Amino acid sequence: MHVGQKTGLRGVFVSGLRKTVALVGMMGAGKTAVGKALATRLDVPFLDSDQEIEKAADRSIAEIFSRDGEAFFRARETEVIGRLLDTERGILSTGGGAFLSEVNRRMIADKGIAVWLKADLDLLWSRVKHKNTRPLLRTANPYETLRELVAARTPAYEMAGIVVEAEPGLSIDAMADKVIGALAAHGGILEEDQ
């Protein structure tokens, strides 16, 4: 194995990406945790659109939603995703609502590939119910709100180029392996040594 290469599934040597992999899906699907594991495994940068927005605004996503509203946030999100797709090649973790935008879906399809980390409602709820950092779940019935968000967003997520199913009990590394396997099966994304 050459320096800087990582072993993917089935002994394929992976040394990077031909295009950015944008992880899409609901809050709690594992976009950040799995994304960081993928970036490490593939030896590429990990990019997080929400973190970039917070850095640029010098405030949290919750503060942006509260002060400026969701429409303002979504406009900044599109700007940041476009900039990251233009300037970096890596694993991009997007916010849960980012892929609802046709503009964002088109940018990701043109310059990268969208991977939907698909998780069922119970798994998502188990991961987000104790967190107060989710502005969209600050409602009287957060479980019902999450259920409605999943139902509303699933048609957009289904437009992703690749779908990888999350499973309860699957470790972050095992999920990263599933994503690498899906990227390899898709073809044209991973830089591989033959």
**Residue 177 in marked binding region:** no
* 90 annotated to bind ligand: no
106 is in an annotated binding site: no
Q: Is 33 assigned a ligand-binding role in the annotation?
A: yes
The CA distances from residue 143 to 42, 60, 125, 140, 167, in Å, are 35, 23, 7, 9, 19
82 is in an annotated binding site: no
Cα 172 to Cα 37: distance, rounded to the nearest angstrom: 7
Is residue 74 part of an annotated ligand binding site? yes
Orientation angle between helical segments 70-87 and 49-57, nearest 10 degrees: 110
Which among 102, 50, 57 has a CA at the least distance from the CA of 81? 50
Helices 31-42 & 172-186 angle (0-180, nearest 10): 70
According to the annotation, is 25 in a ligand binding site? no
Is 153 known to sit in a ligand binding site?
A: yes
Q: Is 134 annotated as ligand-binding?
A: yes
Burial call 117-156: b when 16+ CB within 10 Å, e when fewer? bbbeeebbbebbeeeeebbbbeeeebeeebeebbeebeeb
31 is in an annotated binding site: yes
Annotated binding residues for ATP: 28-33, 134
Annotated binding residues: 28-33, 50, 74, 96, 134, 153
Annotated binding residues for substrate: 50, 74, 96, 153
Annotated binding residues for Mg(2+): 32
